A and B are shown apart, each in its own frame.
Chain A
Amino acid sequence: MNFLRLFARNLREGPYTEAFPFAPAPTAKRFRGKIEFDAETCEGCRLCERVCPAGAIKMERTAEGMTFDCWHDTCVFCGNCEFHCPTKSIHQTADWHLAHRQEDKYRMVEHGLIPFQVCTECGSKGLATAPAAGSANPPLTAEEFQHVKSLCPKCRGKFMRARKTKAKA
């Protein structure tokens, strides 16, 4: 007769139902939802593309620069890309409002662009990626970071080697 106790409890305490379609639903802070991409801090290492199990992330060199595309309709929300991203430029939000009509199917994409820029030292064309600052010792200051960011890969290498020898001496 345990079920009668359950019935009495349910009647006494009222329904447990969320008000969801008529009010916002409670969402966990660490809920694995939609992917967000920040082109400013991206190094362009393409690790996310490699670790993505569903193949939702595509990074491509185009005429404007390097594009980042994450297709929400393919993404399985595993969080691998966020975990492996060295600069944490990929962030998984708690946003799960992804239901959409068929005509919006090919607009469900997180798009980012790392544009080409002209090197401030040598004048050649290179991607405006964030510098790989992880291995720099001592860590780059904010001004140094901005300076390195404005260089082409060749000049960046030159600058970092010079900085290393200076630090040793």
Chain B
Amino acid sequence: MTLVQPPDPTVPVDLGEPILDLLAGFIVQLRSAGLPVSLTENLDAMEAVKHVPLSERDTFKYALASTLVKHHNHWKAFETVFEVYFSLRGPEYDIVDESELPDLDDDEHGEPESGDRAGAGAGDSLTPEELQEMLYRALMRGDQPMMRGVARQAVKRYAGMEPGRPVGGTYYLYRTLRNLDLDGVLERLLQQEQDTDDDPPSDFEERLLRDEYQERIDKFQKEIEAEIRRRLVADRGIEAMAKTLRKPLPEDVDFMHASREEMASLRKAIYPLTRKLASRLSRKRRHGRKGPLDFRSTVRHSLSYGGVPVEPKFRNPRPHKPEIFVIADISGSVAAFARFTLHLVYAISGQFSKVRSFVFIDGLDEVTPYFEGVEDINEAVHRVNTEADVVWVDGHSDYGHALGVFWEKYGNEIGPRTSIMILGDARNNYHASESWIIKEMADKARNIHWLNPEPRSYWDTGDSIVGDYAQYCDGSYEVRNLRQLEAFVDKLV
């Protein structure tokens, strides 16, 4: 087994036993990132590394992953920790001068097939325009080593990284990307394609091309991220970095503060989640307990035993299917939360006899029809956000007024079989609370739950009046992430 001596003297890697220490440290990092790693899995990993050399990085990574990560959603978290933890332990991770940056002259003389790119260290002397030009060429050809070279140079130049500066990686990433103008490059690549071709590409072809370039740009962005990470680790050490780069697992992502990327991963996560939930619920129903004693049938059967009720008979359980009213605040801050909840509720609507949904900001509108006969829940949710008539005066949340409208228009339709879910942070902008409506609703309905996407410690601070409403509800819940949402829906049904 060949190991590369790391440049950092504080992390000794010798041959033999220390690999196990290294692994133990890695597992500690994984656990603190929230991955559940059991003792057996730990032992398996230790067994696994005996068979796979550390020098084959990818294989080593997959070997560790297969023993330690048992859930696909956790893969990303694992990868980040792996990259950080083992980043100083690979040959390509020495911080060297940009000698691997290809020479620009090389390209300007038009030798696209030039294999050896290890030109002189000309990277630092490039003008920004030249760097931009190199990026464009690298992307056009999908030239991986050149992309890496440009990424390194760009980070060095634009990120403005200073040793010891307590700033997270996202900040540097933002700074670097802002200077590179990747969108502009994409447009230029597409434009160039149109110019060179004799007949202009159809929309269809253009779409394919765009996807191709987009993928290359994504790859380039990953290179930049890797470079930033590499430099940060070199600066601050592994343990500190693992902490700052740690990202929450998809089921723990906070609805209210999710980044665009996290939103995408949430959207992906919600579909399998609903499928799982639906199959679990229907299974539960089938295997549910027996119904109440069927007196008539018991007596009837007792006749064959001379009137002794030997065999008690039970009624078939009547599946209890509640009617659900979802009343959701869709104003800016909590819109994402409402979207996911609506999605989830409709995905398992088979579990309810009827689902009706209402959305509000300061006015209120029923959106049930948007979901009727629609195959694609996403689209319905999108329509809710764009078409529903929810603004009354100024488009700032007014729970009091919205509830008033609800009570007036739909209050009569609440029956003893109705479960009501109200979604919102109850930040009422200091309007009147009208909490008596909740009390009236609670009296008529089977139960009423308040789901709040804010952490419990923020409740009733500032203009939040959730306590006012919650006193009349059967329960109020903090639902900040998919895990909590799933738990709540499970309980509701």
Q: Are A and B physically bound partners? A: no
Residues on A close to B: CB < 8 A?
none
Interface, chain B (partner A; CB < 8 A): none
